[in-house]
Structure 1
Amino acid sequence: MKHIALLLLLAVSAGAATTETWQTRTDGTVKGQLAGIYGRVALFADAKDNLLIPLDELAEAEVPRVATYIAAHPPQTVSWADSQSRVAATLKGKLAVLAGERLVDFEPGNRVEPEFYLIYFGAHWCGPCRQFSPDFVRQYHALKQSIPDLFEVIFVSSDETDKDQLTYMREAKMPWPAVKFRRLESVAAIERWAGPGIPCVVLLNRDGEMLFHSYKGETYVGPQKVLDSFVILARSMANAAENQRSMHRFAVYNHVQGAAGGNASPKPYAMGLNLDEYQTLEASTLTATLQVDAAGRVTDASFAPPQGAVINQKLVDDTSRWLFLPRVKNGVAVATRLQVPLAIHR
């Protein structure tokens, strides 16, 4: 089998029910069940490992399966308080947060439910936990500056008493919620991911499926490995423009399927000009005449009124990166020529 550039090798997940085979652009294969799309990567889970594969590495033959999955799993933004996800339902009414020197009920208010939960299993009696927690808190604050709504940490205590739990949270200055000590036995969907030892960090999605773990089988890889992997995943989701481009061929497939054997007009998908690079452009409006192929890519462009050679080439180069949902005729994507008015506002 040819080499496949894998982003990450993850720990075992219990979520995969069946194993499927997926082809890559390099004639390699990936085995696993498609379990999630995160930014520019797809998560595949099987009985042994989870793999994150760049969407761009999947072969064209896999577009229908991936596009069907995307259509069946649209992005959801729901308030944390109202969410019925497995993790939110499990934790509802069972969380507390530090307020000064005491714990009070955690109220999510109008916060959007996090996409990911970093579950931290630790205890005050655990020296390595106390050593790990200061840097964990620093990393938490740094991540919250850039991706405040994407994740939340939940502390699950392994302490002997609620007093010890509170002591650890105060000493570590934990800014995140914790499962109330007397409710620990009621969060089985969370506790099932506890490792043989602590400190242990586990990354779950909203459905309670494990993405990263401090243990890989019997081998302890540590909590920092999970945090580092999460940062890589978060970065893959942070660039909305690049994420959109990675999803284009799947959007084209669903656009054609949506025509149901009939016709559909072309639609803009990803367009834009950096106006700072067009300071010498005199016209306030332009008309771009574009040739768009059946895959939704711009293959030729001209502009009116005519521009100087340098500006014209810059416009051609920039519009060549534009993406469309193509014209559909009798259920088939076809090439087309279209005119796009451009208003230049500085």
Structure 2
Amino acid sequence: MSEFMKGVKLLKHDLTEVDAGEALQGKVVALYFSAGWCPPCKQFTPKLVRFYSNLKAAGKPIEVVFFSRDRTKEDLEENFTEKHADWLAVKFGDPIMAKYQTKYEIKTIPVVRVINAAGKMVVAEGKAQVVESGKSDPMGLFAKWEAACNK
């Protein structure tokens, strides 16, 4: 992926750890800021799950990294394992959470930001795009994200 996540350990869906640099290498990366207690997040997460699952089933190189605003480690793990797809998550209490909230200007949730390999935000309104065309044209939306990452 990029130097900015090199050495960071992320959680896989089974709660084992994986190196972010290796797991994100060569992928279109969407950062998903959300929480289990948040009503708009509860409405949006299934849409993102469907979008992601369709792309993975088609063999597209996409990865979502979940940045949880859940209040406890247990809440994060329950929310992540029960409501999310087989994507990755930042560990509870990891300092990159606050760093990336600032870097990617996260003021409310849910938010999806697509980043390129250098960590630059290339799509700010990922959530709106998934709501608008994630179900009707997932491949077209992925192609736009991929093109933005490769500019």
Smaller-chain TM-score bracket: 0.7 to 0.9
**Does residue 1:142 correspond to 2:46, yes or no?**
no
Q: TM-score, normalised by structure 2?
A: 0.76
Are 1:116 and 1:205, in contact at CA under 8 Å, matched by a contact in 2?
A: yes
* CA deviation after TM superposition for structure 1 residue 141, in Å: 0.9
SS at match of 1:178: strand
Q: 1:111 to 1:165 in 2, by over 3 A?
A: closer
Q: TM-score, normalised by structure 1?
A: 0.36
Partner of residue 122 from structure 1, selected from 34, 37, 40: 34
Q: Aligned runs of 1:50-199 on 2, under 5 Å?
A: 85-89=2-6, 92-99=7-14, 103-106=15-18, 113-149=25-61, 151-183=62-94, 185-187=95-97, 190-191=100-101, 192-199=103-110
Higher strand share: 1
In structure 1, the partner of 2:149 is none
* CA deviation after TM superposition for structure 1 residue 176, in Å: 0.4
* CA deviation after TM superposition for structure 1 residue 226, in Å: 5.2
SS at match of 1:201: strand
Amino acid at match of 1:190: Y
Q: 1:131 to 1:233 in 2, by over 3 A?
A: closer
Further displaced range: 197-206 or 165-174: 165-174
* Superposition RMSD in Å: 3.0
Q: 1:172 to 1:158 in 2, by over 3 A?
A: same
Amino acid at match of 1:225: Q
Max Rg structure? 1
* CA deviation after TM superposition for structure 1 residue 231, in Å: 4.7
User: Deviations 1:11-53 (Å, cap 9, x if unpaired)?
Assistant: xxxxxxxxxxxxxxxxxxxxxxxxxxxxxxxxxxxxxxxxxxx
Q: 1:196 to 1:237 in 2, by over 3 A?
A: closer
Question: How many angstroms apart in 1 are the aligned matches of 2:45 and 2:90?
Answer: 17
User: Deviations 1:101-123 (Å, cap 9, x if unpaired)?
Assistant: xx211257976713421000000
Are 1:87 and 1:190, in contact at CA under 8 Å, matched by a contact in 2?
A: no
Q: 1:237 to 1:160 in 2, by over 3 A?
A: closer
User: Deviations 1:265-285 (Å, cap 9, x if unpaired)?
Assistant: xxxxxxxxxxxxxxxxxxxxx
Question: How many angstroms apart in 1 are the aligned matches of 2:32 and 2:47?
Answer: 13
Q: Aligned runs of 1:281-320 on 2, under 5 Å?
A: none
Are 1:96 and 1:105, in contact at CA under 8 Å, matched by a contact in 2?
A: yes
Unaligned runs of 5+ in 1: 1-82, 215-221, 239-346
- Figure out how many residues of one structure are paired with residues of the other and give that number: 141
Higher helix share: 2
Are 2:66 and 2:90, in contact at CA under 8 Å, matched by a contact in 1?
A: yes
**Does residue 1:223 correspond to 2:135, yes or no?**
no
**Does residue 1:200 correspond to 2:107, yes or no?**
no
Question: How many angstroms apart in 2 are the aligned matches of 1:233 and 1:87?
Answer: 25
Structure ranking higher on relative contact order (CA contacts 8 Å, 6+ apart): 2
In structure 1, the partner of 2:143 is 235
